[in-house]
Amino acid sequence: MNHGDAFVLGLVQGLTEFLPVSSSGHLVIVQELLGAGQEGLVFEVAVHVATLASVLIFYRRRVKALVLESLALRPQALRYVAKLGLATLPAGFAYLVVGRWLEAQFEIASVTGVCLIVTGALLWTTRRTLGSAQAEEPGWMAALWIGCAQAVAILPGISRSGSTVAMALALGIAPAAAAEFSFMMSVIVVSAAAAQKLPAVWGLASEQLAPLAVGGLAALASGLAAIWIFLRLLRSRHFYRFAYYTWTVGALFLIWLWGRSGA
């Protein structure tokens, strides 16, 4: 992978990891358009670590408070962390049970187009739920349902942030609290994904590390921008407008695939 491709893919990863438009789906599309193919585990580690860093930087005060209060055994913090853990279980269970099938969907480009359209439908539901959602924190069952939405988002084209926030809003969780819970969940998921793939990084030659650094820095910067944009649109109640984007991209990608196959 050259530096230009690494920069583009890192930029796409950072923006789409947190905006409700599906990072996995966009990486599939960009790789198809660039003809880059699947770039393997090493690049995934770099951009996942970078996007993890962007969450930790943006929510540094909340993360610090959770860590310190949990160490002090304060019930409220321990309860919140436990809910994050509970919300992570459905994705882990899905990966263990149907992990190979889920991974196979990344090899079928049309799945991404269809799932982007599904993401648009999920985002459209927030037109009605966003204004009435007021709870300051998910309950136990709400956390589990939000986790189920995250499990579905393993599919390429289903936005993790979009599906989890849409589910949280539908369950009455206030917008800011829904976004915070979604992003805090991502810390666990992204850390697990990066740790699983980390062994692939060892033993790389120095010239192979430069593209990873370029992609990682691009993902970090764009990830911070994406979180800010995400929260701003939630506050303005224009969150549902991302549906227009995912519908358009999904449909155009399917048309492009159809045209390429018929050429």
**pLDDT tens digits for 222-234?**
999 999 999 988 8
List C-alpha distances in Å: 112 to 33, 159, 203, 239: 13, 11, 33, 21
Instruction: Report the predicted TM-score, pTM, of the whole model to 2 decimal places.
Output: 0.86
* Residues 31-44 pLDDT 10s: 777 665 545 556 76
pLDDT for the residue 204: 59
Q: Which regions in the chain score pLDDT beneath 70?
A: 1, 34-42, 44-45, 196-208, 262-263
List C-alpha distances in Å: 64 to 60, 67, 88, 239: 6, 5, 20, 28
In sequence order, what DSSP letters do the residues of the chain get, joined into one string?
Answer: --HHHHHHHHHHHHHHHHSTT-HHHHHHHHHHHHT-----HHHHHHHHHHHHHHHHHHTHHHHHHHHHHHHTT-HHHHHHHHHHHHHHHHHHHHHHHHHHHHHHHTT-HHHHHHHHHHHHHHHHTHHHHTTT--BSS--HHHHHHHHHHHHHTTSTTS-HHHHHHHHHHHTTB-HHHHHHHHHHHHHHHHHHHHHHHGGGGTT--HHHHHHHHHHHHHHHHHHHHHHHHHHHHHHHT-GGGHHHHHHHHHHHHHHHHHHHHH-
Give the total number of structural domains in the chain.
1
Cβ-based neighbours of 254, under 8 Å, separated by 6 or more: 110, 113, 114
Closest CA to 80 of 169, 143, 164: 143
pLDDT for the residue 135: 92
Domain that holds residue 52: 3-262
Q: Is 37 left (phi over 0), alpha (psi -120 to 50) or beta?
A: left
Residue length of the chain = 263
pLDDT for the residue 110: 93
pLDDT for the residue 224: 93
List C-alpha distances in Å: 117 to 104, 150, 156, 202: 19, 17, 11, 38
Q: Two tokens at 110?
A: 């049309």
pLDDT for the residue 263: 54
Q: Are 88 and 189 in contact, with CB atoms under 8 Å apart?
A: yes
pLDDT for the residue 243: 96
Round to whole Å and give the CA distance between 184 and 205. 34
pLDDT for the residue 202: 63
